[in-house]
Amino acid sequence: MQSKTFSRHESRYFYALVALGVFVVFLGYLGMHTMEEHGHIVTGMNNQIVWGIPHVFAIFMIVAASGVLNIGTIGTVFGKKQYKSRAPLSGLIAIALLAGGLAVLMLDLGRPDRMIIAATHFNPTSVFAWNIFLYSGFFTLAALYLWTMMEKRMNVWSKPVGFAMFAWRVILTSGTGLIFAFLVARQAYGSALLPPMFIVLSFAWGLAVFLVVQAALYAWNGKVLDPALLKRMKNLLGVFVISSLYLVAAYHMTNLYFAKQNGFESFILRDGGIYPMLLWAGYVVVGSLLPLALIYLPGLGNTKMVVTASLLVILGSFALLYVFIIGGEAYPLSIFPGFEVSSSFNDGVIGSYTPSLPEILLGCGGLAIAFLISIISIRVLRGLPHDVADATAMNDD
């Protein structure tokens, strides 16, 4: 039976997209294989910067996976009908993003086969060990969530499972923030604001990804999104972008309040070269202010502008993560505050990092994995949203 998501006339384009995705995944494999064969010496990483550009890709996809499900829970948990029809699509995208992010995370380790050791020798004091259960639980609940929505006999369970999914994704994103909040070996981190900051960032990034995918599907199938729903969703994106910008500012303002963090904040906000440039131009201007202008300025809130704003939010997220992860590692840890420290191990020296081609290919390969899972599952499971024809359905939203 031919899927309703793609017509017969468009099947060749579907297979062309799949072929393109497979090709990019193969490039990602080549990047991973190069690092595995020659070691991480072929990357831009070193003893000080051990998380490079692959972690930027991985954490974006993991955080966005949690945020994409926000669309589904708005419908199933809070009873908004127009959002409920988008819950299956949000679940499929969430599973795809998490799979792509974890693939990059595992393959960047150099010895992914050693993951079995972490799984069989559990360390309850490690946040990384907690994430083994958080990620597997996310996959399980997301699969159950899709089942309760796609199988009529299980519809009665969609709301309870939706509540569980809502709670689990908040815990999962908090766990991602806690990885950094509990990391005392880097002066940039160690803030209680990081878990809530990552939760709000997930809302903005996940909704941005969803809006781009939804627009592509609607254009592919010749459908037009209800203007009232488009207005609500783009306004919701604006609220999330503003909230994210506020929490990022609060994080840096909190650091500026403590004298021990002044050096780091000067490095990130002013003196750090590429890092202040990416933070101010990449995240604040391109990733926040321009999307807000496209969303809220009169006459600019159409589909093209909303998709453009969403793409800018995604670009800004990569800029922010690059500054947060790599900039945080580049700044040296102040082991003896008030004293100048120097040794053969480059203590007190700002680390340098330039992403290598294998790293970039691996990150793009993870995105391609998410793309392949999304496009195939949407076609097979018919994940295209079916809007309620009655316009009064928007009244309860």
Distance of CA 137 to the CA centre of its chain: 18
Q: Please tell me the predicted confidence (pLDDT) of residue 8.
A: 54
CB 188 within 8 A of CB 328: yes
Q: Mean pLDDT of residues grouped by 10 in the chain (397 residues)?
A: 48 87 95 88 86 94 93 80 86 94 86 72 78 88 89 84 90 90 78 92 95 90 86 93 95 86 87 92 96 89 90 96 92 71 68 90 95 92 68 44
Q: Please tell me the predicted confidence (pLDDT) of residue 387.
A: 67
What percentage of the chain carries pLDDT values higher than 70? 90
CB 147 within 8 A of CB 154: yes
For the record, the structure tokens of 50 come out as 């051990």
Domain map (residue ranges) of the chain: 14-182+355-383, 188-352
Q: Which backbone phi and psi does 253 adopt, to 5 degrees?
A: -65, -40
Kindly report the number of other CB atoms within 10 A of residue 45's CB atom: 25
Q: Please tell me the predicted confidence (pLDDT) of residue 392.
A: 43
Distance of CA 198 to the CA centre of its chain: 10
Listed residue (127, 134, 115, 114) closest to 63, CA to CA: 134
Region of 54 (left: φ > 0; alpha: ψ -120 to 50; beta: rest) is alpha
Q: For the chain, what's the residue count?
A: 397
Host H or E run for residue 269: none
Q: Can you tell me the distance from the alpha carbon of 308 to that of 18, in angstroms, rounded to the nearest whole number?
A: 24
Q: How many alpha carbons lie under 13 Å from residue 331 in its C-beta half-sphere?
A: 26
Q: Can you tell me the distance from the alpha carbon of 241 to that of 203, in angstroms, rounded to the nearest whole number?
A: 9
Q: Please tell me the predicted confidence (pLDDT) of residue 3.
A: 42
Q: Please tell me the predicted confidence (pLDDT) of residue 337.
A: 64
